[in-house]
Structure 1
Amino acid sequence: MLIRNKLMLRFTLVVLAIQVSFSAFIYYFNASTRAQRFEHRLGTSATLATRLLVRPGKLETGQLGSLRRRDLVTLPNEQISIYGPDGGLRYSSADDIDQTLNQAHLPALRPGQQVAFATAGRREAVGMGYDHEGEQYTIFVSAEDQVGWARLHQLGLLLLVGNVGALALSILAGWYFAGAALAPVARISRQAGRISASSLGRRLSEGNGRDELAQLARVFNEMLAGLEQAFEAQKSFLAHASHELRTPLTTLTGTLETALAYDNNLPAARESLAHSLDAARHLQSLTASLLALAKADGTLPAFKPVRLDECLNQALDFARAKYPGRELRLAFGTLPEAFEGDVFMMPGNAELLTTALLNLLDNAAKYSVGPVLAEVGYDGPATLRVRITDVGPGLSPEELSHIYEPLYRAAGAVGRPGYGLGLPLTQRIVQRHGGRLKLTSAVGEGTTATVWLPALPV
């Protein structure tokens, strides 16, 4: 079911429930008022009969004087019955009155008491006890409230017609207001339908900027901005990757074609094979780096507790083996004041963490003209910090803004080995471990890479 139909249905049901409840209250109040009013009229008629018949003693003498039995009847189909102290019927306004219910209530009535009860059909009755000169008389008066029931019937009909009309109006109002409320959603849907991979620069209208729909549009716009950035990064990555892969493939293909066409002796063939092997190794290294980057973006195995200082020590061993002439130092920073068990423990993947730290050390050792300092310590009770500092040529602010883009290489990296994948890979590994990587640099002063990672409680 469409949301518009759901809103209209719920609005209609709520309005209908309110209408029916209010109508039932009005009908019940009027019915109760009618019953009380008519009971009062019956009681007044009973009092009048008492004053005219019992007080003057006409019932005792059996002489009504100028009164006739029908003279006391003032209500529609009114019936009056009076019982004497001995329980016998002393007076009735008609001979055909059914005295069964009157006689059933007779024992319960005492002087000064009044009871109301219903008889056959819509006839209502009142019984009243009366004391006259020490003798108890009981008066019963019954009648039909034709006017009251007619008015109550008219009220019920009016409420029914009014509810039906109000229901029709509430359906129309629900349809209108649901459409008006969902109009911004329809507009957002139309705008979102016009956005495709080739038009990610479009944004949704945020309306008044304050309500929930504006918040929804804002979230969509932020998502679109992220998608646009991801698409641009992917396009840039594919462009650089195709360029980087094309170079060794072209070299390898050209060398093999030249060797096949012109190498007629073993020394020339060996030289061509050597060039081909270098190109294949270059291609293999680049492919391995791209696969490592894809692995960092994929599903990782479950993290286990690892020691970050051991990962850093292993990365330092690899870096010293690769750059035997470069001095790489290890220092320990701030440690917790009081701890039990091992320090530098964190949840993670030891292989990926070692790869990330090795990439940072490799960059530092590759460009530094002096010693490289690696420091591991705590930056708070729940945060580990690794800082790697070199004294290389440094990076400009413009280069720092692109340093995390895959296959991007700064101006100082021209002519040096590498593919521009180390820092992007390191950043993604750190982020997958819930950490953060930050590079600070100044041209001519060197670069500092700082990594913050969540630590296990010590």
Structure 2
Amino acid sequence: MVEKVGAISANRLDLRIDTGKSRDEIAELAATFNQMLGRLESSFEAQKQFVSNISHELRTPLAAIIAELEISAFKGRTVDEYRETIRLILQDAQRLSRLSNDLLDLAKASYDQSSIHFRPVRPDEVLLDARQSILRMNAVYGVDIRFEAEAEDGEGIVVRGNEYLLKVAFMNLMENACKFSDDHRCMVTIRSGDRKTVLRFADDGIGIPEADVDYVFTPFFRGQNKRHAPGNGIGLSLTQKIVALHQGKIVVESRAGEGTTFTVELPQG
């Protein structure tokens, strides 16, 4: 057993210890060690896949920026052509900036819960702040917020959470709805009751194909709808992680061609 353990390394996490046929403490220890190796192997594979996805997301805009600059440097262009080159480079730079911010938020949301500062937060106020930020980022977007009767007085609507992370989650859901709707609008409803706050983010957009619904929260997943709007596949996975940090849950309902609704439940406290 000691010899086999000595052969295990980061490159050989597939090795396992022979537990034998006995049922004594040594066999139990070997089985527990094998279970730990299985978790480590899964974690390493997930990390490798994560790094591979990030590399791919970074490579595309960087290659486009380099190509545009190289052509501009070695070939004379008109003023209008230079303006178009600058516009394309700015577009790719903004994509890189968004990816960088999303990765930082994902890292922040991946911390141990004890490392994140939680305090009493009014989700309705965070919603309004998120709406203002979304409209400032894109003037053609529209976000309608409706407070149902239970939430109007504000009593009991307080949740224990991190205001910054909740704002990130709400902005992701609003932006997602606006991106995939022809009218670029998101309808948000909020209600409070049964010791929880429920928020619904709905749109009348293109919907999510049935084959993609089960994967919308998978990091870097971009389904059939990717041709309709740019993105990096981090937003919804980050949102799910933030909701989970707040001991809440998020579900999605969608029909292709009819629209999508994301429902977030947050416990009050």
CA distance in structure 2 between the aligned counterparts of 1:294 and 1:411, rounded to whole angstroms: 27
Letter in 2 for 1:368: S
Once the 2 structures are TM-superposed, how far is the Cα of residue 445 of structure 1 from its aligned partner?
3.6
Which residue matches 1:374?
188
Q: Unaligned stretches of 5+ in structure 1?
A: 1-185
Which residue matches 1:290?
103
Which residue matches 1:316?
131
Once the 2 structures are TM-superposed, how far is the Cα of residue 249 of structure 1 from its aligned partner?
1.0
CA distance in structure 2 between the aligned counterparts of 1:390 and 1:278, rounded to whole angstroms: 26
Once the 2 structures are TM-superposed, how far is the Cα of residue 270 of structure 1 from its aligned partner?
4.3
Letter in 1 for 2:109: A
CA distance in structure 1 between the aligned counterparts of 2:189 and 2:117, rounded to whole angstroms: 27
The TM-score, its normalising length taken from structure 2, stands at 0.79
CA distance in structure 2 between the aligned counterparts of 1:261 and 1:274, rounded to whole angstroms: 19
Q: Unaligned stretches of 5+ in structure 2?
A: none
Aligned residues: 265
- Alignment map for 1:179-198 (pairs within 5 Å): 195-198=8-11
Once the 2 structures are TM-superposed, how far is the Cα of residue 256 of structure 1 from its aligned partner?
1.5
- Does structure 1 residue 237 correspond to structure 2 residue 54? no
Query: Contact (CA 8 Å) 1:437, 1:450: kept in 2 or not?
Result: yes
Once the 2 structures are TM-superposed, how far is the Cα of residue 375 of structure 1 from its aligned partner?
2.1
Which residue matches 1:329?
144
Once the 2 structures are TM-superposed, how far is the Cα of residue 193 of structure 1 from its aligned partner?
5.5
Query: Contact (CA 8 Å) 2:17, 2:34: kept in 1 or not?
Result: yes
Query: Contact (CA 8 Å) 2:142, 2:186: kept in 1 or not?
Result: yes
Which residue matches 1:429?
242
CA distance in structure 2 between the aligned counterparts of 1:224 and 1:201, rounded to whole angstroms: 8
Once the 2 structures are TM-superposed, how far is the Cα of residue 420 of structure 1 from its aligned partner?
0.9
CA distance in structure 2 between the aligned counterparts of 1:344 and 1:327, rounded to whole angstroms: 25
Letter in 1 for 2:190: V
Once the 2 structures are TM-superposed, how far is the Cα of residue 387 of structure 1 from its aligned partner?
2.0
Once the 2 structures are TM-superposed, how far is the Cα of residue 442 of structure 1 from its aligned partner?
3.4
Letter in 2 for 1:272: T
Query: Contact (CA 8 Å) 2:20, 2:27: kept in 1 or not?
Result: yes
Which residue matches 1:248?
61
CA distance in structure 2 between the aligned counterparts of 1:201 and 1:405, rounded to whole angstroms: 25
* 1:126-159 Cα distance to aligned partner (Å, 9 max, x none): xxxxxxxxxxxxxxxxxxxxxxxxxxxxxxxxxx
Query: Contact (CA 8 Å) 2:156, 2:192: kept in 1 or not?
Result: no
Structure 2 vs 1, CA of residues 224 and 250 (structure 1 numbering), >3 Å: closer, same or farther? same
CA distance in structure 1 between the aligned counterparts of 2:40 and 2:62, rounded to whole angstroms: 32
Which residue matches 1:257?
70
2:109 alignment partner, SS class: helix
CA distance in structure 1 between the aligned counterparts of 2:241 and 2:65, rounded to whole angstroms: 32
1:419 alignment partner, SS class: coil
Query: Contact (CA 8 Å) 1:334, 1:379: kept in 2 or not?
Result: no
Letter in 2 for 1:380: D
2:58 alignment partner, SS class: helix
2:150 alignment partner, SS class: coil
Which residue matches 1:305?
120
CA distance in structure 1 between the aligned counterparts of 2:120 and 2:140, rounded to whole angstroms: 34
Once the 2 structures are TM-superposed, how far is the Cα of residue 305 of structure 1 from its aligned partner?
1.4
CA distance in structure 1 between the aligned counterparts of 2:179 and 2:207, rounded to whole angstroms: 12
Once the 2 structures are TM-superposed, how far is the Cα of residue 446 of structure 1 from its aligned partner?
2.7
Identity of aligned residues (%): 36
CA distance in structure 2 between the aligned counterparts of 1:377 and 1:192, rounded to whole angstroms: 55
* 1:189-245 Cα distance to aligned partner (Å, 9 max, x none): 776655544454566677889998887777656655544443333222222211121
- Does structure 1 residue 411 correspond to structure 2 residue 219? no
Letter in 1 for 2:121: V
Q: CA RMSD in A?
A: 3.5
Once the 2 structures are TM-superposed, how far is the Cα of residue 307 of structure 1 from its aligned partner?
0.6
- Does structure 1 residue 347 correspond to structure 2 residue 160? yes
Which residue matches 1:442?
255
Structure 2 vs 1, CA of residues 374 and 217 (structure 1 numbering), >3 Å: closer, same or farther? farther
1:430 alignment partner, SS class: helix
Once the 2 structures are TM-superposed, how far is the Cα of residue 309 of structure 1 from its aligned partner?
0.9
Letter in 2 for 1:335: E
1:387 alignment partner, SS class: strand
* 1:275-312 Cα distance to aligned partner (Å, 9 max, x none): 33333222222222222222222465422211111111
Structure 2 vs 1, CA of residues 312 and 212 (structure 1 numbering), >3 Å: closer, same or farther? farther
Which residue matches 2:92?
279
Structure 2 vs 1, CA of residues 241 and 204 (structure 1 numbering), >3 Å: closer, same or farther? same
1:259 alignment partner, SS class: helix
The TM-score, its normalising length taken from structure 1, stands at 0.49
Query: Contact (CA 8 Å) 1:438, 1:450: kept in 2 or not?
Result: yes
- Alignment map for 1:100-179 (pairs within 5 Å): none
Once the 2 structures are TM-superposed, how far is the Cα of residue 380 of structure 1 from its aligned partner?
2.2
Which structure would you say has the larger RCO, counting Cα contacts within 8 Å and 6 or more residues apart?
Answer: 2
Once the 2 structures are TM-superposed, how far is the Cα of residue 450 of structure 1 from its aligned partner?
2.0
Structure 2 vs 1, CA of residues 326 and 278 (structure 1 numbering), >3 Å: closer, same or farther? closer
Which residue matches 1:401?
214
Structure 2 vs 1, CA of residues 277 and 353 (structure 1 numbering), >3 Å: closer, same or farther? same
CA distance in structure 2 between the aligned counterparts of 1:216 and 1:377, rounded to whole angstroms: 50
Which is further off, 386-395 or 201-210? Answer: 201-210
Which is further off, 446-455 or 366-375? Answer: 366-375
1:275 alignment partner, SS class: helix
Letter in 2 for 1:422: G
Once the 2 structures are TM-superposed, how far is the Cα of residue 392 of structure 1 from its aligned partner?
2.8
CA distance in structure 1 between the aligned counterparts of 2:174 and 2:224, rounded to whole angstroms: 19
- Alignment map for 1:199-214 (pairs within 5 Å): 199-200=12-13
Once the 2 structures are TM-superposed, how far is the Cα of residue 344 of structure 1 from its aligned partner?
1.7
Query: Contact (CA 8 Å) 1:209, 1:215: kept in 2 or not?
Result: no
